[in-house]
């Protein structure tokens, strides 16, 4: 009989937990508040207690699980060690070992949360049926994950998949959160798109439906107005799509994946956005028509728990 497994996705506000069949069927999911006081020392004990309680309710013994996978918001070394998770307050600890110890030594495997989300989309989402995918998450920032031969590629220092911090724009003057300048995240994230809109409005007196939002303009406003045909909004979407297409072309020339999966809140614009990205992607990869396709993520906020659970099944 196939054992069940669990996926844990640790976020700054809440920890998502899912119980799965080894086939990928989600049986149950719930959330645990992320208590970040005292450098996040209570997070793992809260998760362990919640898991024990839910398993008891379902009359499942901890020993009957194949294991638990976990996604953490920071670079994770192959042995599970985390140097820092800024949003949690964690520094120099191994949450993988700690959670295992709190749950009777059950196997626990961990990885960066963006990489785990990519693995989830490969397993049961927008990358299902493919073995080699790259996920690009367009949210408050730009995240990414690389999965090759169904395995996360995190690199020797946990930096694999940091797509949002690829340098794309030389003329940028503002500093990115990473300390760099001209990162993809500064133009293609929800925050970046809104900033691009404010700069574009300030640089011109052209009429635009975007002006009704003023400095409170959001990425959603830009994409909605572009869909409605507003010229300035369309101009901004073209800029964003050009940089995203450029980065996807660079990734293709290095690792040549089968599929790009676009997720995050900005991806709710759907094929309107991915079609624009694909035009530039094709422009920058004229060398061949045989290359990765571009599609949308399907698992939404559950991608992390799916990918975490998949970690334990390797």
pTM of the complete model: 0.88
d(C-alpha 314, C-alpha 310), whole Å: 7
Q: Are residues 115 and 189 in the same domain?
A: no
Burial grade of 148 (CB within 10 A; 0-12, 13-18, 19 or more): middle
- Tell me: do 306 and 294 sit in the same domain: no
Residues 138 and 218 placed together within one structural domain of the fold: yes
How big is the chain, counted in residues? 314
pLDDT in tens, the chain (314 residues): 478 999 999 988 899 999 999 999 999 999 999 998 999 999 999 999 999 999 999 999 888 899 999 999 888 888 999 988 877 889 999 999 999 999 999 999 999 888 999 999 999 999 999 999 999 999 888 989 999 999 999 888 778 888 999 999 999 999 998 889 999 999 999 999 999 999 999 999 999 999 999 999 999 999 999 999 999 999 999 999 999 999 999 999 999 999 999 999 999 999 999 999 999 999 999 999 999 999 999 999 899 999 999 999 87
One domain, residues 17 and 103: yes
**Cα distances (angstroms) measured from residue 111 to each of 5, 192, 274:** 16, 27, 28
d(CA 153, CA 145) in angstroms, rounded, equals 8
Q: For residues 138 and 284, state if they share a domain.
A: yes
Do 94 and 140 lie in one domain? The reply is no
Give yes or no: residues 168 and 285 share one domain: yes
Q: What is the pLDDT of residue 135?
A: 96
What range defines the domain where residue 28 resides? 4-120+302-311
Give the C-alpha separation, 144 to 226, whole Å. 25
**What pLDDT is attached to residue 239?**
98
Q: Are residues 172 and 116 in the same domain?
A: no
Nearest partner of 233 among 200, 186, 271, 255, judged by Cα = 200
106/41 same-domain check: yes
Percent helix / strand / coil, the chain, rounded to 5: 45, 25, 35
Q: Which of 4, 68, 62 is nearest to 305 (CA)?
A: 68
Count structural domains, the chain. 2
Shared domain for 175 and 251, answered yes or no, is yes
For residues 241 and 164, membership in a common domain is answered with yes
End-to-end CA distance of the chain: 17
Q: What CATH number is attached to the domain comprising 38?
A: 3.30.420.40
Report the sign of the C-alpha dihedral through residues 213, 223, 184, 92, in that order: positive
From the list 11, 257, 271, 242, the residue with the least C-alpha distance to 145 is 257
Q: Are residues 179 and 281 in the same domain?
A: yes
Helix ranges (DSSP H) in the chain: 37-40, 43-57, 95-102, 113-124, 185-188, 190-202, 219-227, 231-255, 271-284, 303-311
């Amino acid at each position: 009989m196939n054992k069940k497994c669990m996926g844990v996705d640790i976020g700054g506000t809440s920890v998502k937990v899912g119980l799965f069949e080894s086939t990928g069927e989600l049986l149950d999911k719930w959330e645990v508040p992320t208590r970040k006081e005292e450098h996040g020392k209570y997070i793992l004990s809260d998760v362990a207690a919640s898991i024990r309680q839910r398993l008891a309710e379902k009359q499942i013994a901890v020993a009957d699980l194949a294991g638990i996978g976990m996604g953490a918001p920071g670079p994770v070394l192959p042995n599970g060690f985390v140097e820092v998770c800024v949003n949690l307050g964690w520094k120099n600890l191994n949450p993988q070992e700690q959670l295992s110890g709190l749950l009777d030594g059950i196997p626990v495997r961990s990885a960066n949360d963006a990489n785990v989300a990519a693995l989830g989309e490969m397993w049961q989402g927008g990358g299902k049926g493919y073995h080699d995918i790259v996920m690009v998450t367009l949210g408050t920032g730009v995240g990414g994950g690389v999965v090759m031969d169904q395995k996360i590629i995190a690199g020797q220092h946990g930096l694999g998949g940091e797509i949002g911090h690829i340098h794309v724009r030389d003329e940028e003057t503002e500093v990115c959160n990473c300390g760099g300048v001209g990162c993809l995240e500064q133009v293609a994230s929800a925050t970046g798109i809104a900033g691009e809109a404010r700069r574009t409005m300030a640089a011109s007196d052209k009429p635009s439906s975007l002006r009704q939002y003023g400095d409170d303009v959001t990425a959603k406003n830009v994409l909605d107005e572009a869909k409605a045909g507003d010229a300035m909004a369309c101009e901004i979407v073209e800029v964003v799509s050009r940089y995203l297409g450029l980065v996807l072309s660079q990734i293709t020339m290095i690792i040549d994946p089968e599929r790009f999966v676009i997720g995050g809140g900005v991806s709710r614009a759907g094929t309107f956005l991915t079609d624009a990205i694909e035009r530039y992607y094709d422009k920058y990869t004229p060398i061949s028509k045989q290359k990765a396709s571009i599609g949308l993520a399907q698992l939404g906020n559950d991608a992390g728990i799916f990918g975490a659970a998949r970690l334990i099944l390797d």
